[in-house]
Amino acid sequence: MSGQPDDTHLLLELLARIVARIVARNPDSILKSLVQYYSVLSHIDCASKVSDAALAATSRAVLVPLGAAPADEQYLLHAYEAFALSFLTTPDLHLVERHTQVFAQSLDSDLLASSITKAYKEGHIDGVNREGQLWLLAHFVGLGQRADAGSQGLKRLDALHLQLSSLSTEISVRMSVKPADSRPSNADLSGSEDHLLQSLPSYVAHQLASLVDKDGISVLLAELTTNFGVKTTNGDIESASLLSGYVLTLLRCFPNHGDEIRMRLFLGDVPSRAGSLPTIKFLWQAMSQTSVYVQVLHNSASAVELLKTYLSLSAPASSAQEEEWRLVLLFLELYIFILRLSDDEDFFSSIFPALLKSNDQPSRLRSCGLLLQDVTKLTIVLKHLAFALHYNASDIQQGSINHDRSSFGQLEHYFGAQHLKASREAKVANERVNAALTRLDLGSLRGIVTTALRLLYERDSRRPFLPKDHWLMTSKFDMEGFVSAVVAEQERRQNEEGSDSDDSDGDVDEDTNIGGVNSVIRTLAGHRVSHHAQIEKLRAQQRKAQRDRMLAVIGPKLEVLRHMPFVIPFDTRVQIFRQFVHLDKHKRREGMDADHWRMAMLHDPLRSPGRGPAGRHHGKIRRGQVFQDAFAQFFELGEGLKEPIQIQFVDQFDTVEAGIDGGGVTKEFLTSVTTEAFSEMDGISLFTANSQGLLYPNPTAMDELREALSKAGMPGNSADWQEQVQDLLRQFEFLGRIVGKCMYEGILIDIAFAGFFLLKWISGQTGENSYRGNVNDLRDLDEELYQGMLRLKNYSGNVADLSLDFTITDQVSLPDEPVRTVTRNLIPNGENVAVTNDNRLLYISYVARHRLVAQPAQQTAAFLRGLRSIIAPSWLSMFNQNELQRLVGGDSSEIDLEDLRRNTVYSGLYEIGDDGLEHPTIQLFWRVMVGFSDGERRDVLKYVTSTPRAPLLGFSQLSPHFSIRDGGEDQARLPSTSTCVNLLKLPRYKDQETLRKKLLYAVSSGAGFDLS
């Protein structure tokens, strides 16, 4: 036909007239032929050469069956469905894509939307392949944008929602795949699955992108305003629910645009009887009145049944509860976004309005905040939901939406699994009918609820505003047997997995796309995740879902401890941590203690001398070179550093110092390694400190090394260059292992880490993957930069006048060299994106993420890799940042002198005899300690034990115990210590004042240390 356009045009005109007569007289008679009719027309329309006359005739032929006005409305629905499924599913339609305006005005948008909705709900869409469904969606979007404004409505939104939900995984992956002609010519796709992935056709990609551009979101907000702004009818609540579900689906389909979607919603207002409300406030008012919210608030037990109903495949698609859940989930999405943007000033000005000055104009963030009573109620609801989702997951997920269905189905589609049986396809179709596509699965629901809960908890742990025991849920457990029950679960989990409690899939981040702001690394760092990496992520998510279901069955208490540990008292969690370590030691050493294990390894006839574990765990360490010697001799041990090590200290003449390592010298070795490593070594600082002396990985360490190597003339792609870089990263990794070893052995170190760095310890399973960084954490890093970001946030003028863009400048400084600057993009093409009043909050959050996450990423990941090889990530996740610091360095509260006295061991002449009385000098010592200030007591404690803080569970946990031995009767002699065994050698002073002066002098001068 394409070769004879005139004939085609005449034939089409004739066909249109014939069909018009049939439709006018007996429309039902043509119904059975409409599918074939539109299929033929679609082939004519997409022919390579079509004349204008033929195109006009095609248009009339297409529209004739749709333009009749029969009494039977069902005819039109069937006709529009045939048009949608047989015509609009065809690629490259000239009529729709080039003459959209004219064509769209001749269609009934509501009927088209209703027919598509009907096709999805009744399963008719299953006869169309995935590519055809994408083209249908694209054509529907294009036609909707050109239709009359009055025809835009909730029916169109419903149809969009169903289509996007069905195709969400495919859209989210393929939207980020570059077209083949834009990939590097030298790209090697062999050995990967990239060649199996196709980018979306340009027309499809363009139409889908229009849904999340500024105009697309503006239309959405207009619908929000029109349909349920000042009204409260049930129908309008249904409208609100549909819009909420649609926004949630957009976030799933377009993760790269998540921040822009949330930002536009955040900046939008909704009219109400009390005046315009920020979108988040409107959603809060609507959500807090839902039966779901009210039931969970007042009855924690109701959470399980509500969740089971929502996640059930058999639940009706349009139930009132599902509509309420959409409101709840959109509120949480937007509230998480706002929490991540808000600094403490914004947050606390909202919950405590009295903090605002009377003449202050509240910022957008402050106007979006909730009052204290509202936040308190919200945390209660989130606690109850999160607890049910983790503790009762096994019960809830019976018959629930299968998390890995969508990802597995998409993988099958990508990898050509056409051999699937029809039964599986039928099962998927049935799931669609049951509206599984429009709901979140268990993992996604758990992720969003837990994220919101943890963000509020982190805020409260940093600056408390809720009652002391607000977060505890001890009434849910038998606390007397809780520790032993958790340990039993841990043993079952280890037996089930046959390995450590954290497998290789544990680092899949369920928080990746929740709440926005820095949630997609490629958006912020300016890099695309490769197609292969995206597929691997889908596979990892599938494995994680399977693993999570198994863990929910065998370890519900462990799941609570892992995801919401704050519901259990801190002291209980410390006991559990110690029990986990004990269990791990017992398993690794086959029940032997350190000394017996060492002897067993030494006498193992199957091992060569010096080659077995005992030989590899022996080190000779020089004073002044402790870290470098330790690194050289112990790095290759890997997680084997958990086993007992034996240390000999030598002086500059290689003379072995006095002391037999029964554990005490190991303690001295570990504390010496940390002391040396956390200070500057050979001109390189692995760690640096903020203005409060809190430590974090040196963010410029990698840049400084590369600059030094470049100055030395070393080629950047040489093996030597790579080895130098890897060696520095290995040092960070080894230092992480050393800190982990101290925690593993219960050895306290006098080191204080920055809060934002400690948050990274608990952020993932095997790598730094879920810590986002925010402006509050920026304060711990750089107070000046933090204040600068606050000034920008509160700037009353036009931010565009400041000529800022989405780039940041890093400084690289070498000794005796001028400072060099490096400008880096915060987002792709950041140098061409101006900072404005609307996007400045995103700019601030991206600056914070760069400084806190991106810049120190390599060195932080290396440290965490080492730390987590000794201390399982799930153990670390039981604590917040402040609690972790106490776990590392001890309790910072006032020294409990009575507890110390009860747990002090005496030897030599000071040993307590049968009369039970203390030696007179010991009595003088305790009188002096009572008279000391808390600071002076800490100085004494540090002098003896090397740390000024008590163990978390009291001095009974100090190993070895605090000990005092007589040091002779010379009254002029100073006290001395062996910190490796926590021993104070105290001369037999005759009076209290002499003892006091001598002790203070020894403590202040650090005199009298030896290893004997």
Between 316 and 1005, name the one with better pLDDT: 1005
Q: Are residues 608 and 716 in the same domain?
A: no
Which alpha helices (DSSP H) does 746-782 contain, by range?
A: 755-761, 775-781
Residue-wise pLDDT tens digits, 921-938: 999 999 999 999 999 999
Q: Are residues 954 and 971 in the same domain?
A: yes
Q: Write down the pLDDT at residue 49.
A: 64
Q: Per the domain annotation, does 985 fall within a domain?
A: yes
Q: Could you count the other beta carbons within 10 Å of the beta carbon of residue 491?
A: 12
Q: Which of 1-15, 672-686, 803-817 has the lowest mean pLDDT?
A: 1-15
Q: CA 678, CA 655: separation in Å to the nearest integer?
A: 27
Which of 670, 666, 655, 792 has its CA nearest to residue 737? 670
Residue pair 944/984 in contact by the 8 Å Cβ criterion: yes
Backbone angles phi, psi at 468, to 5 degrees: -55, -50
Q: Are residues 849 and 872 in the same domain?
A: yes
Task: Write the single-letter amino acid at 177.
Answer: V
Q: Are residues 803 and 849 in the same domain?
A: yes
Which residues make beta-bridge pairs with 277?
Answer: 270
Q: Per the domain annotation, does 249 fall within a domain?
A: no
What is the overall mean pLDDT for the chain?
80
Q: Per the domain annotation, does 10 fall within a domain?
A: yes
Annotated catalytic residue: which of 253, 368, 742, 980?
A: 980
Q: Per the domain annotation, does 737 fall within a domain?
A: yes
Please tell me the total count of domains within the chain.
4
Q: Write down the pLDDT at residue 989.
A: 94
Q: Are residues 854 and 717 in the same domain?
A: yes
Q: Are residues 5 and 56 in the same domain?
A: yes
Q: Could you count the other beta carbons within 10 Å of the beta carbon of residue 222?
A: 13
List Cα–Cα distances, 428 to 116, 580, 781, 888, in angstroms: 18, 42, 50, 50
Tokens of 398: 């019976």
Q: How far is residue 331 CA from its own chain's centroid?
A: 19
Q: Which of 857, 889, 921 is the last residue of a domain?
A: 889
25-62 CB burial, b ≥16 within 10 A, e <16: eebeebeeebbebbeebbebbbbeebeeebbbbbbbbb
Q: What angle do CA 589, 592, 598 make, to 5 degrees?
A: 80
| pLDDT reading at 44 higher than 90 | no
Residue-wise pLDDT tens digits, 61-79: 788 788 765 556 778 888 8
Q: Give the containing element (helix H, strand E) for 696.
A: strand 695-697
CATH of the domain at 905: 3.30.2410.10
Q: Which of 865, 889, 913 is the last residue of a domain?
A: 889
Computed from CA positions of residues 796, 798, 802, 808, in that sequence, does the dihedral angle turn out positive or negative? Answer: positive
Residue pair 334/279 in contact by the 8 Å Cβ criterion: yes
Task: Write the single-letter amino acid at 442.
Answer: L
Task: Write out the DSSP string of 127-179.
Answer: GS-HHHHHHHHHHHHHHHHHS-GGG-SHHHHHHHHHHHHHHHHHHHHHTTSPP
Q: Which of 131-140, 401-410, 637-646 has the lowest mean pLDDT?
A: 401-410
The parent domain of residue 605 ranges over 570-677
DSSP 648: E
Strands 820-825 and 807-812: antiparallel
Q: Per the domain annotation, does 579 fall within a domain?
A: yes
Q: Are residues 958 and 853 in the same domain?
A: no
DSSP 856: T
Q: Per the domain annotation, does 627 fall within a domain?
A: yes
Between 205 and 144, name the one with better pLDDT: 205
DSSP SS3 for 646: strand
Predicted confidence band at 519 (pLDDT cuts at 50, 70, 90)? very low
Q: What percent of the chain has pLDDT over 90?
A: 34
Within 8 A by CB and 6+ apart from 739, the residues are: 674, 749, 751, 866, 867, 888
Q: Write down the pLDDT at residue 501.
A: 43
Q: Per the domain annotation, does 3 fall within a domain?
A: yes
Q: Write down the pLDDT at residue 978.
A: 86
List Cα–Cα distances, 222 to 225, 262, 283, 838, in angstroms: 5, 16, 15, 19
Q: Which of 228-242, 345-359, 523-537, 859-873 has the lowest mean pLDDT?
A: 523-537
Residue-wise pLDDT tens digits, 142-184: 888 765 544 457 788 889 988 998 898 888 888 877 765 554 4
Q: CA 100, CA 147: separation in Å to the nearest integer?
A: 9
Q: Write down the pLDDT at residue 536.
A: 66
Which of 1003, 892, 885 has its CA nearest to residue 950? 892
Q: CA 169, CA 404: separation in Å to the nearest integer?
A: 11
Q: Are residues 801 and 899 in the same domain?
A: no
Residue-wise pLDDT tens digits, 700-756: 999 988 888 888 888 878 888 899 999 999 999 999 999 999 999 998 888 999 999
Which residues make beta-bridge pairs with 977?
Answer: 984, 1009
Q: Per the domain annotation, does 447 fall within a domain?
A: no
Whole-structure pTM value: 0.80
Q: Are residues 672 and 711 in the same domain?
A: no
| pLDDT reading at 5 higher than 50 | no
Between 396 and 876, name the one with better pLDDT: 876
Q: Are residues 827 and 968 in the same domain?
A: no
Which alpha helices (DSSP H) does 526-663 contain, by range?
A: 531-554, 556-563, 570-588, 594-602, 613-616, 626-634
Q: Are residues 868 and 915 in the same domain?
A: no
253 is catalytic: no
Euclidean distance between the first and the last CA atom of the chain, given in angstroms as a whole number: 102
Q: Are residues 725 and 840 in the same domain?
A: yes
Number of H helices, E strands in the chain: 46, 12
Q: CA 765, CA 255: separation in Å to the nearest integer?
A: 23
**In a 10 Å sphere around its CB, with 0-12 CB exposed, 13-18 middle and 19+ buried, how is residue 709 labelled?**
middle
Predicted confidence band at 420 (pLDDT cuts at 50, 70, 90)? very low
